[in-house]
Amino acid sequence: MKQNEFEKKLLQEKIAAHRRILQLETRLLKKELNPKRALHNLSKTVAPKLLAIPALQSIIGGTNKHKFKLLLVAAAAMLIPFVLNESRSPKNSQKNASGA
C-alpha cells in the first residue's frame, strides 16, 4: 500500500512541476509577444547593423549622440510597417493558397 501512495504522490509532484513549467513558459511567451518588448529587442539587433553602414557612420560623425538617437527613431519608424506586414504575410499566403 505504501508503494501505491508513493507513486501517487510522485505523480502529483510531476504534474505540479509540469504545470509550473507551463506557467513560466506562458509568462515568457507573453513577454516576448508584447509589442514594446519586441520593439526593444528589434532595436538591440538593428542598431549594431545600422552602425556598420559606412554612410550612416559619416552622417552620425561619432560626436553628436542626438543625431544617432534621431537616426534610430527614423530607422525604427521605417522598419515597423515592414515588421507588421511580415507578421501578417503568412496568414495572407495561407488564405491565398487555400483559395487557389
State how far the Cα of 17 lies from the Cα of 37, in Å rounded to an integer: 28
**pLDDT tens per residue across span 21-78:** 888 888 877 777 777 777 677 667 766 776 777 766 666 665 566 666 676 777 777 7
* Grid cell of 60 as nine digits: 552620425
Cell for 49?
547593423
pLDDT at 100 over 50: no
Domain layout of the chain by residue ranges: 1-33, 35-100
Model pTM score: 0.36
Q: How many CA atoms lie within 13 A of 88 on its CB side?
A: 6
- DSSP 8-state class, residue 61: T
Using an 8 Å Cβ cutoff, are 46 and 79 in contact? Answer: yes
